[in-house]
Amino acid sequence: MKPAAIESFFATLQAANPLPVTELAFTSVFELLAAVLLSAQATDVGVNKATSRLFPVANSPQKIIDLGLEGLESYIKTIGLYHSKAKHLMQTCKILVEQHNSVVPRTREALEALPGVGRKTANVVLNVAFGEPTMAVDTHLFRLGNRTGLAPGKTPLAVELKLLKRIPKPYLVDAHHWLILHGRYICQARKPLCWQCGVSQFCDFKAKTPAS
């Protein structure tokens, strides 16, 4: 995808959705961190159902700790891999209390030092909570980066770095949301809905696809 097409690609997405937001439900930075940690290999809908029960009872690191591991698991057992996620969230809460005065840190290094928090999760928190121009490459962004020609790469990190380099600066903060939503609802994995796509004219995949 050429630079002029990239500009038009994001201008079109911005026009359709000027203020994109995450579909995870949260009311604080800690709730966001917990929700993103729980969202690995799970849907936002599924996570929201669990956190709608959890957060009214425990929405801070200390309150999660006070639940105990079994208590925490009872709230999130509908989420895949809930045993390991509960363990990681509990360990993270203890570190937040002991090392960060219960405040979610806003540096990549400190975030990635938390159990269960990898580069992608840290990028989401930095972007959504703190407005940093980061790119959390999940399966949707990885697919779009390669399929559209926007940022081809063999690894999530390669796609992330190329997206940060190629996306025009005015779109960087919101680009993560636009790409996730586009991948979730239009540029789907098995069968992209090209006939519903507002940016198909800028996409390498569409250019290579015979008209149906």
Residues serving a catalytic function are 120, 138
Residue 83: burial class (beta carbons within 10 Å; 0-12, 13-18, 19+): exposed
Q: Which domains does the chain carry?
A: 3-20+134-208 (1.10.1670.10), 29-128 (1.10.340.30)
Percent of the chain topping pLDDT 90: 91
Least trusted range by pLDDT, from 6-15, 38-47, 96-105, 201-210: 201-210
- Alpha-carbon gap, residue 205 to 212, rounded angstroms: 14
**pTM recorded for the entire structure:** 0.88
What's the pLDDT at 211? 47
Instruction: Convert the pLDDT of each residue in 9-26 to its tens digit.
Output: 999 999 999 999 999 999
What's the pLDDT at 209? 47
Instruction: Convert the pLDDT of each residue in 83-94 to its tens digit.
Output: 999 999 999 999
